[in-house]
Structures are given as structure tokens and as C-alpha cells.
Structure 1
Amino acid sequence: MSLFSLHGGFTGLAASSRVRLARNLKGYPFRLTPAQHSEIADKVFSALRGNPTIGPEFEKKQIIPRSTEASQLVEEHLISPELARNGGWLIVSRDGGVSIMVGEEDHLRLQVIGTGLCPKECLETANRIAALIEATLPFAYDERLGYLTACPTNVGTGLRASIMLHLPMLTATGGINQLAGYAGSRGCAIRGAYGEGSQAVGGFYQISNQITLGASAAELTDKLVETATAIIDAEKKAREQVRSQNEAALRDRVCRAAGTLRSAYLIDTGEAIQCISDVLVGLQMGLLSGVEPQVLYGLEQRIRPAMLTGAPQERDQKRAALLRETAQSLRFA
């Protein structure tokens, strides 16, 4: 069993939950040299390895700027595009549930990720890991402001909690724009699947907190869950509305997507993600069965360009093979 494996509900619409804590070590400047990045990575790794229970679960690796491995780690949501471009260090658990970036905007970006709707559980794990590190490596902290960060917008809790939601019907009907305003009124933001500046592909969005000061991390996470739950309800209603308006067209779209996944021998990333999105809708609405949504969410990451080797057509062929293998279990209702 994975030590940091976390699972939540709403798995048909909530792909994953993630909590990230920005922390800086006391006694170091915010802007570090590569040598200082390496020094901090060694100290943090040593602090974790000193715990006999969780220490053996972690490994440390250097991130080479713009390398293939760096691109793959971005696709797996283990490092940021910024760290992939500039390089640094990654301390990560064997199951990928906990990762710590060293050398990003802050000294440490501690991340915990789980499946489904589970940001509260992710926060609990992140707090335990942060406390373990802070026991030997004090963080920069102000009694009035809270945790000090490189960017003022992160001061306070240093928290960025996010939930990956699958919202294709709200996207198609334009309802996502109205809900973006609703999320903003509650101190949250809706972004593309890879966070700020990224595009939503296949109806996948991140909803995350924007406020880090003036409330506790637990309070901010509670508000995020409430906001995400309201958006999930809106997506469910949008799906049922589409069903009531033209169920035959909906079934046709879902079944065509399932057929493509089961039979294609060449498929590019865009078409593959759109087909996965349509099949996920079919599974959630009872039009398809035989595959768990989380399997498809995981597959969506594995078929990204950086995760496959070879020339473009070779990648398209490998991608199709992975999809066919999984899609053979799909059953039409």
C-alpha cells in the first residue's frame, strides 16, 4: 500500500486534489544561487530521511533544465513549468503523492496530491511533512503576517489548494464563464489544467484559492471545497439538460468517442483527450461502463507528448495502443 495514497469522492467529475505550501528557510535570502539550492535540497532530504517511518519513501533528483525528464515531470504535475525551464531539485515520494520542489520562486514548494475530492486530507499530510522539516529547519515566519514568501500574494498561509474538475458541458454551453465570476466572489480562481496561464483542454480545469492571508489554511480549504461542490452540481445539471434536449446526439458522441479509443491505430493528443473527455461523460451518466474514471484520468497524463518517445507518428501509434488496451473493457449501456 502506498504511504501517501489519498482518495476522495466525486471521482467522476473531480480528477484530483492538490495542496501546495510555499515555504522559505530562515537565514537565507529569497533569491538563491544554484549552490544554495543544492544545499537546501540536501538539508531537506536529510530532515525527511531522519524519520524512520517516512524517510525511506523519499528520493532526491536534480532537475536538468528543459530535459525530457523535466517535461515528463510537468505532465505528471510533480514540478512546475518554471522549474522545468530553470532547473533545480525535486524530492519526491515513491508513489508521487508528496513532492517538494527546491529552486522555484520560493525555497520550497511542498505539494501533496490525491485522487478525487480530497483537499482537506492533502492539507493534513502537507502540514505533517512541513512540521517534520521545520523541526530542524526553521521557516521564515512573521507573527503578524504569517509565513513569508517571495511573492506578496502568497504571504500568510503560503497555501495554494486546487481541485482538477472535468467540466465539458459547462464549457460547451458557456456556463463556465458565469461560474468563473462566482468562484472569484468566493476568493477562488478557475484556470487551465496546468494552472495559471494554461489552457483548458478537454474540459479540464483547476479551481484554486486566490487568498492566502486573513484566514487559516483549513478555512481556505473548506471554502474551496464548498465552491468546487457547487460547480460540480452545476456541471451535473448541465449534463442532464443536454440529455433531456437530445439524448440521441449525446449517446452518439459518447459512443463514437468510445469506438475511436477502442479501434484507432493513430491518434494525436488533442483528439485523444477529447475522446477521453467524452467517454468520461458517458461513464458518469451511465451510458458506458467497464472502466473506472480514475483509470482514464491517469491515462490522460500518460499519453501526453512528453511521456512518449519517438517521432510524431510513432507517438501517435503508441498513444493509440495504450488507449485501445484500456478501452477494450468499455461496455455500452
Structure 2
Amino acid sequence: MSMFEIHGGFTGLAASSRVRLARNIKGYPFRLTEQQHSEIADKVFAALKENPTIGPEFDKKQIIPRSTEASQLVEEHLISPELAQNGGWLIVSKDGGVSIMVGEEDHLRLQVIGTGLCPKECLETANRVASLIEAALPFAYDERLGYLTACPTNIGTGLRASIMLHLPMLTATEQMDRIIGYAGSRGCAVRGTYGEGSQAVGGFYQVSNQVTLGASAAELTDKLVETATTIIDAEKKAREQVRSQNEPALRDRIYRAAGTLRSAYLIDTNEAVQCISNVLIGLQMGFLSGMDAQKLYALEEHIRPAMLTGAPQDRDKKRAEILREATKPIQFN
């Protein structure tokens, strides 16, 4: 197991968890020059390297604006679309579990990703890495306000914790407006696959904290977990409701999706993600077996356009090959 691998429960319904801490280095202006970005990246990297346990786990790379590599790192959720567009630096663990963006809205965006429902464990790791950096490079902090950030909406804890939920049946039964309202009443937001401003594809949504001030990071994370658990329960009920209304139609939809993944010669991203979503439902509801739901979800990230090379049809062919091979073990129950 890699050093920063974190695994949680509800695999498949809660596909992944992420914690991001916004931090700024004391003594530097909020708006930095490219030279200052490079300087901070060097200092942060050096601070991590001084730790004999975790130092060897990290690499540093420059993000070239609008490059193919930058697009791929966005698809892997290691950098933001803004950093890919504008460039900067990335300090990342070899297993991809911890990444630190330098040159985004704040000096540092420290991110920890885990599989399943595990934002608490992600926060523990993020705090540990942040403490190592802060020992060498004190952060901008106010006794009354907390951590100072470029955007007022992040001030206080600087925390943005999120859980990627798979909610296809709440989407199909048109209950998402109610879910978004419920999350809002809990101080949380529901967004698309890539966060703010993005669309939900295949029923995948990010649920994240909106409030960063007035409570500790641990308290905010606890509230997020409670909110996500309630939404997961609602999705389970929606699935059972759809099953009870017309199980043959649901089974047919799932079987057709599995058949497409196992046999398609060409498949575009949207169709692939929709089929993966339906197969995930089948695996979780017992209509299908033979494949781990988490592996299928991880595969969804690696079939997106930026992860494959060539002309559109070449990508569609390669995507189909990957999916045919991966879904061979699926069995119809």
C-alpha cells in the first residue's frame, strides 16, 4: 500500500473524497509574480524533502499553461482547470494521494484524495502535511479570523472538503432540486463532476462544505459526512423505488449498458460514462457481479478525452478497447 492511500466506506455510492486547504505564506503579497511562485514552490518542496519519512514520496513539476499534461492532471483531479489554464507548479506524491498546487488563487492549495467516504482521514493527512510546511514557512494567520485567503469565502479554516457521490436514481426521479436544497440548509453545496460551474455527468455529483468560518475544520467535515450519508440513504431509497415500480426495465437498462461496455468497437465519452453509471447501479444492486465497483469508477477517469491520444475516432476505438478488456469478468445475475 502506498504511503498516502486512503480508503473509506460506501464504495461506489461515495466514489471518492477530497480535502483541500487554502494557505498563504506570511510575508508574501497575495498576488505573486511567476518568480515568486517558483520561489515558493522550491521552498515548500525543500521543507517536505527535509522529512526523511515522507520527503522521498514527493516530486515537483512545472505546469505549462494549456498543455496536454495539464489537461490530463485536471482529469485526474490533481490540479484545477484554473492552474491548467494559467500555469504554475505542482508538488505531488508518487501515488497521487497528496498534491499541492502553487500559483492558483492562493499561494498553496494542498489537496488529499481518498477512495470512498473518507474526508476525515483525508483531513488528518492534509493537516499533517500542512504542519510540516508551516514549521518552515509560517502561514498568514489572524487570531480572530483564522487563515487568511485571497477570497473571503475561504477565510477561517481555508477548508474545502468534498465527496463525489453517484446519484443516478435521484437524478432520474427528478429529486436533485430537493437534495440541493437540503444540502444548502446544512451549509453544503452540490456541484458537477469538476466542482463549481461544471455539469454532473452520469449522475456523479460533488457535495462540499460552503462554510469555512465559525467552526473548526473537523466540525465542518463531520457535518459534510452527515449530509452525504443522508443523501446516500435517499439514493438507496430511490433505487428501491425504481426497482419496485419496474424491475424488468431497470434490469434491461443495466444489462444493455454492460453489453455495450463488453462489446462496443467505438464509444464516445458521454456514452461510456452513462454505461459505467448504469453498470455501477447493477453491481451495487446485485444484478451484476464479477467486478469491483471502485475499479470501474477509477476507470471512468482514464477514458476521458485528455487521457487518450489521437483523432476523435481513434480515441473512441481505444476507449472501447480499454472498457471491453476491463469488463470481461462481469457476470449477469
TM-score bucket (shorter structure): over 0.9
Match of 1:37 in 2: 37
| Contact kept? 2:12, 2:297, Cα under 8 Å | no
CA shift for structure 1 position 6: 0.1
Q: Distance in 1 between matches of 2:152 and 2:64?
A: 28
Match of 1:199 in 2: 199
CA shift for structure 1 position 12: 2.2
Q: Distance in 1 between matches of 2:329 and 2:176?
A: 32
Matched, 1:224 2:220: no
What RMSD over aligned residues (CA atoms) do the two structures have, in Å? Answer: 0.3
Match of 1:278 in 2: 278
Q: Distance in 2 between matches of 1:228 and 1:212?
A: 18
Q: Map 1:95-174; keep pairs closer than 5 Å.
A: 95-174=95-174
Match of 1:212 in 2: 212
Q: Distance in 2 between matches of 1:240 and 1:12?
A: 16
Q: Distance in 1 between matches of 2:126 and 2:35?
A: 26
Amino acid at match of 2:33: T
Q: Distance in 1 between matches of 2:98 and 2:297?
A: 19
Match of 1:69 in 2: 69
Match of 2:10 in 1: 10
Please state whether the residue corresponding to 2:53 is helix, strand or coil: coil
Give unpaired runs (5+ residues) of structure 2: none
Q: What does the per-residue CA deviation read over 1:77-99, in whole Å, with 9 as the maximum and x for residues that have no partner?
A: 00000000000000000000000
CA shift for structure 1 position 176: 1.0
TM-score by length of 1: 1.00
Amino acid at match of 1:326: A
Q: Map 1:162-311; keep pairs closer than 5 Å.
A: 162-311=162-311
Please state whether the residue corresponding to 1:120 is helix, strand or coil: helix
Amino acid at match of 2:232: I
Match of 2:91 in 1: 91
CA shift for structure 1 position 148: 0.1
Give unpaired runs (5+ residues) of structure 1: none
Please state whether the residue corresponding to 1:135 is helix, strand or coil: helix
TM-score by length of 2: 1.00
Amino acid at match of 2:81: P
Over 6 Å off, 4+ runs: none
Q: Distance in 2 between matches of 1:275 and 1:90?
A: 33
Q: Distance in 1 between matches of 2:290 and 2:101?
A: 37
Identity in percent = 84
Please state whether the residue corresponding to 1:112 is helix, strand or coil: strand
Question: What is the aligned residue count?
Answer: 333
**95-104 vs 172-181, greater mean Cα deviation:** 172-181
CA shift for structure 1 position 288: 0.3
| Contact kept? 2:167, 2:203, Cα under 8 Å | yes
Amino acid at match of 1:86: N
Amino acid at match of 1:225: V
